[in-house]
Structure 1
């Protein structure tokens, strides 16, 4: 059996999850612009590319497969999301999704954007 079938999130539309990232940030007095900055930093999309992904309704697998340049410093993202250490996730796609989750968590927890972007 294909391992990917075990992960429903791979087939979820990025456009369906994106507003949840924004809501999570805004509940903690952070902005949609900061969410976009994080997503663009991680994936290499520019604002137009990010909007195109949302408008096209691409799933997470496509969203990350089409990402222009996954940030080389993403390997510096460490910690726990959903009870799993992100640096230990073996599936590359799941790891990218959890990296994004972790960055959004850090934003919502009030971490400075420079620290979130591993600068």
Structure 2
């Protein structure tokens, strides 16, 4: 059975997740700062922070999905590994007969 690579997709997903989270944090910071400094007479828009937040959310969601796919592939590989089976010795229900004493004369045997 051929398995697909899981490390690359997991690492890529992790990087996207971190970058997306950072972009979301930056968007929230810019949005809060813009809201705190806005006056009644300013006409500044907060559109850049909204776009940054949406793009960061898409990156983070894509990264999360990729990390789940990578973990699923890795766990599928682990599940497919051979497991040594414990072999139980057969129980003898009939008592064993004692062996005959060895003789030195081969003709008697």
Same fold (TM over 0.5): no
**Bigger radius of gyration:** 2
Structure with higher RCO (Cα < 8 A, 6+ apart)? 2
- The structure richer in helix per residue is 1
Instruction: Name the TM-score, length of structure 1 as normaliser.
Output: 0.19
